[in-house]
Amino acid sequence: MNIFLLAIKNSTSKMLSTSLSCILLALSIGLLLFISQINKALDHQLQNNFAGIDMVVGAKGSPLQLVLSSVFHIDNPTGNITYDEYTKLKKHPWTKEVVPISLGDNYNGYRIIGTTANFASLYKTTLEKGKNATNPMEVVLGSQVAEQSKLTLGDKIHGTHGLLANQEGGKHEEHMMIVVGIYQSTGKVIDRLITTPLETIWMLHHEDTEDGHTDHEEQHHDPHKEEHHSYEEEHHNLHEEEHHSHKGETHIKEVTALLVSFRNPRALLMLPRHINDTTGTMAALPKFEMDKLTQTTGIGTQTIQWIAYIILGISVLSIFIHLYKTIKERSYELALMRTYGASRWQLVQLVGYEGILITTLGLLLGILCSQIGLSIMFTVIENQYKQSITTIHLYIDIIQVSLILALVISIVILFAMYPITKMDISKILSHEN
Amino acid sequence: MQICCVKTHKVISTENLQFSYPNGGVQLRFPDISLDKGEELLILGKSGIGKTTLLHLLAGLLKPDSGFIKINDTTTQSLSNRKMDRFRGENIGIVFQRMHTIPSLTVIETLKLRLYLAKKKKPYTHLDTILKQLNLSTHKNHRVTELSTGQLQRLGIACAVIHSPSLILADEPTSSLDDDHCNQSIELLKSQAKQSQSNLIIITHDTRITAAFDTIITL
């Protein structure tokens, strides 16, 4: 029997009060870690996927939508622009690199991106096996696509019209694409993309438009849905109609967006405005758009963070009350221990251990809760958005939270223990009742 | 010098003890006590006359305004708080009027804690012997909250003698007991004190037990 054991026995004998303090603490710690990790993971995911893209040029519409669709591949594109825009911008002295992308099809929810060979170098990835797709109908898979779909070199796949899996778009049944390469894993968006030369998309879609009967387009012309169409969609329709009017004469080559990196910082100030003012296309800056977005969503996470801090405050208070009550209610017990030969310091230890025990348990439980929460959240995100995100520097968060907690709790324990130092054993013992 | 030498023969001695509570009140004066090894003493007094105060002075829970207390050649009032805690733990056992306990512990755990705090290492067989003598063996692993008043009283005695202290102090150990239990408990206290060769000082207003003692001081 020693002081530590006694502290454990004391804590377990007051299960209700102990577990209430523990659960409150665990809840706040769990929330704090959870929010912090979600924030960090999403932020990391964003930063990671900028991939040196300074500007995106696409059809006019919402700049945020353009950035989301062409940099993060999570929203629908705003529309298409002509291939000429690509060649013009490529020649511009301020641009270092311009990579065109063409969206419109998916394979099991993984987007098929028509692009050039430079696309992979944006994400600093190289082929893990196989070769680059140089001919139409050849595709290179991102690492996650290959792994999740169990595809390997030489496999043939059908693209599906649209950007989401199981969408009621037409399958390009007659066009088989062949897997010729697989990229190395990067942890970036390219892992969940299927890349192919621009010509593949053109081939698929020109035939579609020549048929003129794809579901995709029917959907757009559905009169019942007309009233819900946003400006972008209408614009898209206009654009497509324009395209239809041209189709009889020449095939106008189109792309969805251009991913641009600047040669020169001056370009950041001048080029987007220039493009927006003088061409029919729109330039959007990913960093600027994402900052705007996180500022808005930040309010939500900040609120949750404040709630977590408030719960932390309450839990700390409950620990204080728990300890203070212990000392008040057990003053006779503590006095008795003094007559048994316990020093003041040993009584302080007893109460301190109890506080530390509750705190440690709460902390561990909180970490466990946050881990469970995070893994559920990450699985949901992975399944729904095909984004693989992981915890980042979790240990730093844990250390941070632990340090804050250690500081707060030691102050609480000190305050709660104050009565011990003022304890008058003789008085307590002579007022037995 | 001579006085000093005479005092060393005694295990417990007090001289000119005076005490007054800080919030005013009367100055309490106590008769001198002087006991040889193994001697027993009964201190009788009415309520409010300062019996518990004297016990607390002897136990070092209070410090006298003047006079001195010597236990085993140690002048206890000159000890620091920490040393007094230690000294008390090792050399003094106190039986309280009502045995308060640490509710989260069992009978055997209470005794083990008592030994731990007194910094005495005794074999656990020793604990079993005492529990047997006090008729508590069957309740060894029971929570103290499950014990009856009589059992609690006996546990209190066990706690006071388990570490073989030089001095056992008992504060009104019989006031809440009927005649039978009263005699039993005094017998137990006396036999346990004898066994551990401790001095026993009982402070009480209960005149039923005067017959059991040779030395009696009336306050």
Those of residues 16-75 in B touching chain A at CB distance below 8 A are 52-53, 56, 59, 61-62
**pLDDT recorded at residue A293:** 84
**pLDDT recorded at residue B6:** 45
A277 shares its domain with A350: no
**pLDDT recorded at residue A302:** 85
The verdict on residue A294 lying in a domain is no
**pLDDT recorded at residue A395:** 85
Nearest-by-CA chain A residue for B81: A343
Quick one: average pLDDT of A388-402? 82
Q: Which residues of A touch B164 (CB under 8 A)?
A: none
Q: Do A432 and B97 touch (CB under 8 A)?
A: yes
Percent of chain B residues past pLDDT 90, beyond the cut: 8
pLDDT at A137 over 50: yes
A321 shares its domain with A244: no
A41 shares its domain with A62: no
Average pLDDT, chain A: 81
The verdict on residue A26 lying in a domain is yes
What value of ipTM does the predicted structure carry? 0.85
pLDDT at A182 over 60: yes
Give me the amino acid identity at B50. Answer: G
A256 shares its domain with A344: no
pLDDT at B117 over 80: yes
A21 shares its domain with A159: no
Round to whole Å and give the CA distance between A252 and A208: 14
A257 shares its domain with A390: no
Nearest-by-CA chain B residue for A431: B52
Q: How many domains does chain B have?
A: 1
Q: Long-range contact list for A150-159, CB < 8 A, 24+ apart? A: A151/A179, A152/A179, A152/A182, A153/A129, A153/A179, A153/A180, A153/A181, A153/A182, A154/A178, A154/A179, A155/A179, A157/A107, A157/A194, A158/A107, A159/A105, A159/A106, A159/A107, A159/A112, A159/A204
**pLDDT recorded at residue A223:** 41
Percent of chain A residues past pLDDT 90, beyond the cut: 7
pLDDT digits (tens, 9 = 90+) for B4-61: 444 446 788 888 888 888 776 778 888 888 888 888 899 998 877 888 889 889 988 8
The CATH number given to whatever domain includes residue B100 is 3.40.50.300
Full domain range(s) for residue A233: 55-284
Question: Chain A contact for B15, CB < 8 A?
Answer: no
A275 shares its domain with A395: no
SS3 B122: coil
The verdict on residue A225 lying in a domain is yes
Question: Chain A contact for B104, CB < 8 A?
Answer: yes
**pLDDT recorded at residue B192:** 86
pLDDT band at A170 (very low <50, low <70, confident <90, very high): low
Round to whole Å and give the CA distance between B56 and A250: 111
Maximum average pLDDT range among A39-48, A155-164, A389-398, B188-197: B188-197
Full domain range(s) for residue B6: 2-218
A326 shares its domain with A200: no
pLDDT at A211 over 80: no
Round to whole Å and give the CA distance between A120 and A125: 6
Q: How many domains does chain A have?
A: 2
A20 shares its domain with A84: no
Task: Lowest mean pLDDT of A102-106, A351-355, A383-387, B82-86, name the range.
Answer: A383-387
A40 shares its domain with A99: no
pLDDT at A364 over 90: yes
The verdict on residue A323 lying in a domain is yes
The verdict on residue A127 lying in a domain is yes
pLDDT digits (tens, 9 = 90+) for A256-265: 889 998 888 8
pLDDT at A231 over 70: no
Q: Do A341 and B100 touch (CB under 8 A)?
A: no
**pLDDT recorded at residue A432:** 53
Residue finishing a domain among A236, A254, A284: A284
Those of residues 108-137 in B touching chain A at CB distance below 8 A are 109, 112-119
Q: Which residues contact A399 (CB under 8 A, 6 or more apart)?
A: none
A253 shares its domain with A214: yes
A163 shares its domain with A249: yes
User: Least CB-CB distance to B85: which of A333, A336, A342?
Assistant: A342
Question: Chain B contact for A1, CB < 8 A?
Answer: yes
